[in-house]
Every structure is written in C-alpha cells, then in structure tokens.
C-alpha cells in the first residue's frame, strides 16, 4: 500500500499536474504587472506575451493566430461555440433551429444544448453511438440530410472523455461540408495524445483546455474560423476580437502556450508510454478479475481510441464503492458516473452504448499520465483483488436487504 506521500494518481483525464515549463512561464509572468489592453509600456509588454503565446499555440495546433480565442477553459469554450454559433445562424435564418450532436458529449456541451432547447427553442438531435461509443455515421448523415437547411450546427467531440473512443471527425466534416453547416468539436481530451490540426480537420470551431495537457486550470481556447463570428456570451471591453470580453490572464496564457509546446514535442513518445501502461493495466485487471469488461474501442491507434484511458466495468460492483476502497489504499481514479445533489447517476455515455443502469454504475476509469510508472500500475493491481471482493460483497443482494 502506498504511503500518504506516495499515492498513485490515475486520473489524468480529469486534470494533469503542470509541467515544469508551464510553471516557469506562469511564475515569470506572475511577478510582472500590466493589463494587456493598456497602452503604456507595461500593458504593451503584457500584450506582447499574449500575442506571442497565441502565435505559439496556433502553430502547434495547425491554426492561424487570429483563430485562437482565449477563454477560462473548456466549459466556457463549449458554451461559446454552441450558443454563439446557434445565435449567429439564427440571426441570419430563423429556420435553422436544429443542433445535431453525439449522444456521448461531455456535460460542458450537453448542458448548454439543453439550455438552448429550453430557453431558445433549439431542436437538439443527439446522434446514437455503437457499442464502442463511436457515432453512427449513417444515422448522422440521415439526420442532416432530412432537412439540411434547418441545421444550425453540428458538434461532435474528437475523443470521448470516459471510454476514450475516437470519433470519425473527418467523415463528419465531409458530410457537413456538403451543406455548408458549421462543425464544432470538443478536442479537450484528444489534444495531449493525438495529432490535432485545426486546419486539416475540416472543423469550423474546436475547444481546447490548459489543465488537461500540463497547463494551469482556468485557461483554454475556442479555436474558431474568423468567418464564423459567433455571438459572444460576455460583453464588455471587446477583447479577443469582440467574441470574448474580459481582462486577459497573461500568466495563465503564457503557461498554456508553454504546456502545448512541450506536449507537441513529446506527444509521440508520451502516447507510446501511456499505451504500454494501459496494456499492462488492462491485462492485469483481466487476469485478476476475469469477468471485468473493457469499454470502448479496444483497437489501438489514433483513429480508434486514446492511449491514456482504460475504462472497465466490474459486474456486481458499485463504481463508487470501488473508487472509495481504492482511494483508501492510496489509488486515485474516477468512476464513469456523474453525481448530482449527492445521488449517483448512471453514466450517460455507457447508457448510450447499450449498458443497463446497474452495469453503467459499476465502472471505473483509469487514466495514467506522463509521470505514471509501471510500478504505479502494479500498486493498483496489488490492491484490486481485496478491493473487488469487498465491493462485490457490499453490493450482494443479501447485503443490500440486510
């Protein structure tokens, strides 16, 4: 069992530790003063840092600097994308009320879509997925072709944050391109481990976030074509081409740029390291718990799954029980469920993939990172048999009715 200062962190899909280069860039800027919108020398220096960071980020993700709009993170960027594009399209043609998405989006996108449906009259059409969590292209095409003139936008995440399945963004881009429909993708999980190029993707807008790639929490960006011009959520000083007003966080932006530069430089070796750890983890779990089910696409490669997510269902167990028992052993991971008002809810991703409620609540997500070692995975495997036995006993029918 790891000591308190040797805990095993297997939840990098939730957030990552900052890389030293990002810490150094942020620390340097925190010691300085200057509003990037001010005209004096300190302000101009801050503006120079922001614009150099913007250029660096754009170069590393295959975008033009003018397409990078800084936000407070992925959630704001997703909201700005779906609401801002929907409103812009509505302003031009009120018939365009439909928003087509996948059924397995992150809540940062699902919830704004629900808000648009409730408050703005949007007709939200979730596209079903197959058993691996991949969007059914045939259904998506049929949904769009039924009435393409009514579709305001399409949004599909690049890779799923729970099970790691990579979506066919190129195929979706080809479909929507036939009708001139804007396409947005949440690339938050994909960015650190997959080759991501905005220019080559066929996307019109893309969400990225700092804290998933070794940068700080509280900074991200919506990468959006200038021709799209989404209506802003925030009004004020007109920063970020009048799409996202607000004083720019110079230190976080500099750290964000530094993290992306490190990420791109190490992406290939990083992905190989993570894939090997994932294989070791999955093989070990299957040996120890033969009835465990690996969720998502098991094929490796950038068109199939992320190398850093292993999502498993443990029949007869509650995911929350497994998580807390592992946490007591110094192993940190996450469940595939959301928690609202203290009431565990089945993962909408697994339900969309065809799981029943009990199976959807009996899952764990393990996501290693750059600092994870084979010994960390061995620590998990050493703790798992006892944890699994206790969780299964606690969930047995006679125990629940006692």
3-state secondary structure 142-172: HHHHHCHHHEEEEECCCECCCCCEECCHHHH
pTM: 0.94
pLDDT at residue 344, rounded to an integer: 65
pLDDT at residue 5, rounded to an integer: 62
339 is catalytic: yes
pLDDT at residue 397, rounded to an integer: 65
More confident residue, 36 or 344: 36
pLDDT, tens digit, 9 for 90 and up, residues 293-313: 999 999 989 999 999 999 999
Closest CA to 183 of 146, 160, 156: 156
Average pLDDT in the 342-355 region? 85
| Cα(263)–Cα(142) distance, integer angstroms | 38
Average pLDDT in the 260-264 region? 97
| Cα(273)–Cα(276) distance, integer angstroms | 5
Average pLDDT in the 141-169 region? 97
Predicted confidence band of residue 340 (pLDDT cuts 50, 70, 90): very low
Asked whether residue 400 carries a pLDDT value surpassing 60, the answer given is no
Average pLDDT in the 360-383 region? 96
| Cα(54)–Cα(47) distance, integer angstroms | 10
pLDDT, tens digit, 9 for 90 and up, residues 17-35: 999 999 999 999 999 999 9
| Cα(284)–Cα(378) distance, integer angstroms | 8
Domains recognised in the chain with CATH numbers: 4-16+267-401 (3.90.1150.10), 20-261 (3.40.640.10)
Pair of tokens at residue 151? 């579709």
Average pLDDT in the 81-96 region? 94
% of the chain with per-residue pLDDT over 90: 90
Predicted confidence band of residue 343 (pLDDT cuts 50, 70, 90): low
| Cα(270)–Cα(291) distance, integer angstroms | 30
Residue 397 φ/ψ, nearest 5 degrees: -55, -40
> Cβ contacts of residue 136 below 8 Å, gap of 6+?
127, 128, 129, 130
Is residue 335 within 8 Å of residue 323, measured between CB atoms? yes
Asked whether residue 3 carries a pLDDT value surpassing 60, the answer given is no
Asked whether residue 167 carries a pLDDT value surpassing 50, the answer given is yes
% of the chain with per-residue pLDDT over 70: 95
> Cβ contacts of residue 144 below 8 Å, gap of 6+?
100, 151, 154, 175, 176, 179, 181
| Cα(242)–Cα(151) distance, integer angstroms | 25
CA atoms 161, 15, 276, 200: torsion sign: positive
Asked whether residue 273 carries a pLDDT value surpassing 70, the answer given is yes
| Cα(304)–Cα(181) distance, integer angstroms | 25
């Amino acid at each position: 069992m790891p000591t308190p200062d040797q805990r095993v962190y297997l939840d990098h899909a939730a957030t990552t530790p900052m890389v030293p280069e990002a810490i150094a860039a942020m620390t340097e800027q925190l010691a300085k003063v200057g509003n990037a919108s001010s005209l004096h020398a300190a302000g101009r220096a801050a503006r120079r840092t922001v614009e150099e960071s913007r250029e660096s980020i754009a170069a590393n993700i295959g975008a033009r600097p003018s397409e990078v709009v800084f936000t407070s993170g992925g959630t704001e960027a997703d909201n700005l994308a779906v609401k801002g594009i929907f409103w812009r399209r509505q302003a031009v043609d009120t018939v365009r009320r439909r928003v087509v998405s996948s059924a397995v989006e992150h809540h940062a996108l699902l919830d704004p879509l629900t808000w648009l449906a409730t408050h703005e009259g949007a007709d939200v059409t979730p596209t079903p997925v197959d058993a691996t969590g991949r969007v059914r292209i045939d259904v998506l095409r049929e949904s769009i072709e039924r009435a393409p003139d009514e579709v305001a936008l399409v949004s599909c995440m690049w890779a799923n944050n729970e099970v790691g399945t990579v979506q066919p963004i190129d195929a979706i881009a080809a479909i929507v391109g036939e009708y001139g429909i804007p396409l947005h993708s949440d690339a938050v999980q994909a960015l650190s481990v997959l080759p991501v190029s905005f220019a080559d993707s066929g996307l019109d807008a893309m969400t990225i976030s700092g804290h998933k790639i070794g940068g700080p929490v509280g900074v991200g960006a919506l990468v959006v074509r200038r021709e799209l011009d989404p209506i802003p959520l925030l009004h004020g000083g007109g920063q970020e081409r009048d799409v996202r007003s607000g004083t720019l966080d110079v230190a976080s932006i500099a750290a964000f740029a530094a993290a992306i530069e490190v990420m791109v430089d190490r992406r290939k070796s990083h992905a190989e390291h993570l894939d090997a750890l994932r294989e070791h983890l999955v093989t070990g779990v299957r040996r120890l718990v033969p009835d465990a089910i690996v969720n998502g696409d098991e094929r490796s490669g950038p068109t199939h799954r992320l190398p850093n997510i292993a999502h498993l269902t443990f029949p007869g167990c509650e995911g929350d029980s497994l998580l807390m028992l592992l946490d007591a052993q110094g192993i940190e991971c996450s469940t595939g469920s959301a928690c609202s008002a203290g009431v565990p809810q089945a993962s909408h991703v697994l339900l969309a993939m065809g799981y029943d409620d009990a199976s959807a609540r009996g899952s764990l997500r393990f996501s290693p990172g750059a600092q994870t070692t084979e010994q960390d995975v061995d620590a998990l495997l050493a703790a798992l048999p006892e944890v699994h036995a206790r969780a299964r006993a606690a969930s047995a029918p006679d125990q629940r009715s006692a």
